[in-house]
Chain A
Amino acid sequence: MKKTGSQIIVESLKKEGVDIIFNYPGGAVLPLFDELQSASFKQVLVRHEQAAVHAADGYARATGKVGVVIVTSGPGATNTVTGIATAFMDSIPIVVMTGQVPTLLIGNDAFQEADIIGITRPCTKHNYLVKDVKDLARTLREAFYVARNGRPGPVLIDLPKDTLINSTEFKYPEKVFIRGYQPTYEGHLGQIQRAVKLILKSKKPVLYVGGGIISSNASKELTLFAEKCGIPVTMTLMGLGSFPGNHPLSLGMLGMHGTYWANMAVMESDLLIAVGSRFDDRVTGKIEAFAPQAKIIHIDIDPTSISKNVRVDLPIVGDCKRILSKILSLLEEEEVASFKAGLEKWHHQVEKFKAIHNMTYEQKEIIKPQFVIEKIYELTKGDAIISTEVGQNQMWTAQYFPFLKPRTLLTSGGLGTMGYGLPAAMGAQAAFPNKLVIDISGDGSFQMNSQELATVVQYQMPIKVVILNNGYLGMVRQWQEFFYGKRYASSCLEGTSPDFVKLAEAYGAVGFRTNKPEEVVPMLKKAFSIPEPVIIDFSVDPEENVYPMVPAGEPLNQMRLV
């Protein structure tokens, strides 16, 4: 039987196991929306297309499944770009379908036309323009395959209106074969054997792990490996949660705002085992001075990540989970026992680093933002999905909330997109209606997508938005304080933000506010107990800074500690 393009899309999405779609309608894509109305997917109508993509991204990070977005042509499509670039930088699998003007009008400056294929080419893993309905089913199959396999990423499908209307026989391809896309999953055995030898020879090893552990679901293998060998683990921002933050072997985050001991351990190490991480400039600091004595093993599924920024001694291309399992299977008990015993000195040295500088703050009469985050952790015992915005709120969350499990932190790491947190929280809450989902926000970032309060209220998502309100674009202000002679150009929001309690109420949510430290815990408790969306506006110390800080371009051991 023949089906229209729109029907084919609905059928294909079912075959892909899609359960939620984040969308926003418009003229070019109406035939598809008409078909979606009677489909069984849960649909979340956002208030801005950027939020639809962040929500799908948050859904993907929280569940490990592919997030799906449907929007219209022109402005609908261009509004998705920031969301797509965010997902691209952090390797998050999403499929974005955009409407397009009819094939015959493409290139004619038609109403609501934008060359979204051209615009998103550098920020998608791949994108498709489907000019013929006969190609539709295969394209959808490929798009989901490409998004979730290998190094995951966003894929965009541009759908001219006639493709949605025209009909053809529907047959969903069972298999995908793309001759130009054959990711390597199994690591090279010889390289893995060499890695094991290097590991057993090392005296001061550090595991430096990133988002790749989370996307390949390798947390269990990582933990087994670290424990078996007694190797300390430091995580990138994207890697937080891949290894329990409260584990004795956890060094916390490294890099620009990493812990003192993580950065010192990396700089002192004689072997760095990088797994699913990519030596980002925020991680390495001055590249020539990075881990000067260390040999580097780099395990990553993406060959372009290897030796991109740092020369690697031993690369292994493949899936983190499979390679870590292989390494585990090659470790012999006796050898490991003597290796582990030899690490005692190294563990002592790391403990010494911890004694030199600990993560501390003083909670006096003004609320400290770190205090709020510590209390959120204590009250939830870490059992919550936390999203963040970007800037100080994000770094304090990374430092003071020891994430215990993978997929519990949703944060824009690579692109650093302000306004990410609230829509990402929506995505997670849509997937897990009964989980506690908290967006840790700032007064600046929150306003970049605050229109989504309407969505949150419409679908009665009980998200808690914690605004660490310091009256500044805090991270910008911090840089201006350190590097621009305290000239706070365009970074002061004091007295210009709306009344967030009234704003919450205007949308139909609940709003709380306080500036008293003793009210923080009761207020959080109350918010967590209400099964409704709540905004809590905490007036925090306006000039608190994020420490430690490695100034951009400095070596990792050159940290400002106060």
Chain B
Amino acid sequence: MRHVITLLVENEFGVLTRVTGLFSGRGFNIESLCVAETLDPTVSTMTIVTRGDDQILEQVLKQLNKLIPVIKVVDLIEKEFVEREMVLVKVSATSETREEILRVIDIFRGKVIDVGAKTYTIEVTGDEKKINALLALLKPLGIKELVRTGRVAMIRGSKITTEPGA
């Protein structure tokens, strides 16, 4: 099953290795991982997307909690949440395809952020489904390169995911 895990961690060196070590030690692949500072510069948030046996993941979550620099662990899959990801796509843009590309991007509320002689570089934000749908449309037009940020996520409503005591 797919899990989206949010962690609050001390913003210091070595924490990332400690966290990922618990996944790699069990042969779990991390699909995406996103780390950045929070409002409090001593704390970072990590968003990890992974798949695996539920019972083993429960054990991983407990062990994440046990790591000294980990302040909080939340498995968002148990809650209502929103998630977003940004992608940068470089597509080949010929005189025949330029119009088509712009139309597609417009529908997906994306932007062209760089134009080359034969390429467009596009920025799009959305959840997994939206990004995958866009990529499916752009693929036949010729995707040259693709970079994804990995997912970030938050609990819906007024509850706060990242409050240490929450």
Contact = CB atoms under 8 A, between A and B. Distances in A.
Contacts of B63: 304
Interface in A439-489: none
18 contacts: A118-B17, A121-B17, A121-B18, A122-B21, A122-B25, A126-B68, A129-B13, A178-B68, A179-B164, A180-B67, A180-B68, A180-B70, A181-B68, A302-B66, A303-B62, A304-B59, A304-B66, A307-B58
- Per CB-CB distance, the 10 closest pairs between chain A and chain B, nearest first, are A304-B62, A126-B68, A180-B71, A181-B68, A180-B70, A304-B63, A179-B71, A180-B69, A180-B68, A303-B62
Nearest to A182: B71
Residue in A179, A180, A181 whose Cβ sees the most chain B Cβ within 10 Å: A180
B25 A129 contact: no
Contacts of B65: 303-304
A308 B59 contact: yes
B75 interface: no
A117 interface: yes
A146 interface: yes
Interface of B: 9-10, 13-14, 17-18, 21, 25, 58-59, 62-63, 65-71, 164
A121 B63 CA distance: 13
B44 to A, nearest CB: 12
A331 B60 CA distance: 37
A469 B67 CA distance: 43
A458 to B, nearest CB: 37
Interface string A156-181: 00000000000000000000001111
Interface residues of A, number: 17
A391 B71 CA distance: 41
Given A122-B25, A146-B68, A180 B10 contact: yes
A160 to B, nearest CB: 14
Nearest to A302: B66
A322 B91 CA distance: 65
B21 A121 contact: yes
Contacts of A181: 68
A126 B12 CA distance: 14
Contacts of A303: 62, 65-66
Given A122-B21, A304-B63, A117 B14 contact: yes
A307 B63 CA distance: 13
A181 B63 CA distance: 12
Nearest to A183: B66
A149 to B, nearest CB: 11
Contacts of A122: 21, 25
Nearest to B17: A121
A179 B164 CA distance: 9
Contacts of A129: 13-14
A185 to B, nearest CB: 15
Contacts of B21: 121-122
A181 B164 CA distance: 12
B25 to A, nearest CB: 7
Residue in B10, B14, B58, B70 whose Cβ sees the most chain A Cβ within 10 Å: B14
Interface string A295-321: 000000011100110000000000000
Nearest to B15: A180
A146 B18 CA distance: 16
B21 to A, nearest CB: 6
A415 B60 CA distance: 21
A116 to B, nearest CB: 13
B66 to A, nearest CB: 6
Contacts of B67: 180
Contacts of B70: 180
Contacts of B10: 180
A117 B67 CA distance: 15
B74 to A, nearest CB: 14
B147 to A, nearest CB: 28
A308 B26 CA distance: 14
Nearest to B65: A303
Contacts of A307: 58
A118 B66 CA distance: 18
Contacts of A179: 71, 164
A126 B13 CA distance: 13
Interface string A404-422: 0000000000000000000
Interface string A125-148: 110010000000000000000100
B3 to A, nearest CB: 17
Interface string A94-120: 000000000000000000000001100
